[in-house]
Amino acid sequence: MAKKVLIVEDDANIAELLHMYLDKEGFETKVAKDGGKGVEYYRSFQPDLVLLDIMLPVMDGWSVLKKIRESGRTPVIMLTAKGETEDRVSGLESGADDYIVKPFAMREVLARVHAVLRRVNPEEAEKVRRLSFDKLEINMDYYELQVNGQRVDTPPKELELLFHLASSPNRVFTRNQLLDEVWGFDYYGDSRTVDVHIKRLREKLEGVSDQWRLKTVWGVGYKFEVGEKTHPARE
């Protein structure tokens, strides 16, 4: 069953981005545009985690957090434009589980959501983000790439790109999709960044196996192509 995340955020653009990325990550989401609705939806939706803005109409984030803590220990990650240490300390002392300052990269939000869920759910902690193909292993817990049984030094962003492509074998991603989903919506570089990282990955992976390859789909983007009988081993 999909984990449920309640988003309490009055900025429509931020709320939509959070909803879109979390939905793509496999979460079930619900959005509340003010603190009052946040408390109401918390009770009816019964989320596994809450993303909670501090500056909200009707009822601010501190008040919403207090209401949540009156009834349970559902993990809460605070979202705010304020970056002062006092605000962070206040949030954590009030019972928040984590704190993210705007503007943030969606990759950071997703990483923190998974990290908090792992802390409060032992079964989540047991999940290892690892993909295995013929002569290839991508381990995102240790940020390690193994080719032919040998560890290959790989910069973090290259590894994230490879893992993203290999997690959806044979799916074609445009360059802009990869920029959004790997680099984050707040990245302002151009699509040539993707081409450079693909080129470097190919230098490490070219000719390793005939069961998979990084393929250019001309005029569209890239995919991690595997044969019909090849499927990733996930751990």
CATH of the domain at 62: 3.40.50.2300
The pLDDT score that the predictor gives to residue 127 is 56
The pLDDT score that the predictor gives to residue 122 is 61
If asked whether residues 115 and 135 sit together in one domain, one would say no
CATH of the domain at 193: 1.10.10.10
If asked whether residues 63 and 167 sit together in one domain, one would say no
If asked whether residues 15 and 68 sit together in one domain, one would say yes
Q: Please provide residue 140's backbone torsions phi and psi, each rounded to the nearest 5 degrees.
A: -85, -10
Q: Domain limits at 197?
A: 130-234
Single pTM value for the model: 0.57
Token digits of residue 11: 């900025």
If asked whether residues 183 and 114 sit together in one domain, one would say no
User: Looking at the DSSP assignment, which residues form a beta bridge with residue 150?
Assistant: 147
The pLDDT score that the predictor gives to residue 187 is 57
The pLDDT score that the predictor gives to residue 87 is 58
- The alpha helices in 94-232, defined as continuous H runs, are 106-120, 122-125, 156-166, 175-178, 192-205
Kindly list the averaged pLDDT for each block of 10 residues, start to end, along the chain of length 235: 92 93 90 97 96 93 92 89 59 75 81 81 62 92 89 90 90 87 66 90 93 93 81 55
Cα R_g (the chain), whole angstroms: 20
Sheet holding 221-226, edge to edge: 173-174, 221-226, 212-217
The pLDDT score that the predictor gives to residue 51 is 97
The pLDDT score that the predictor gives to residue 199 is 95
If asked whether residues 136 and 118 sit together in one domain, one would say no
The pLDDT score that the predictor gives to residue 103 is 80
The pLDDT score that the predictor gives to residue 50 is 97
Out of 109, 125, 141, a domain closes at 125
If asked whether residues 73 and 22 sit together in one domain, one would say yes
The pLDDT score that the predictor gives to residue 123 is 60
The domain total for the chain is: 2
If asked whether residues 141 and 175 sit together in one domain, one would say yes
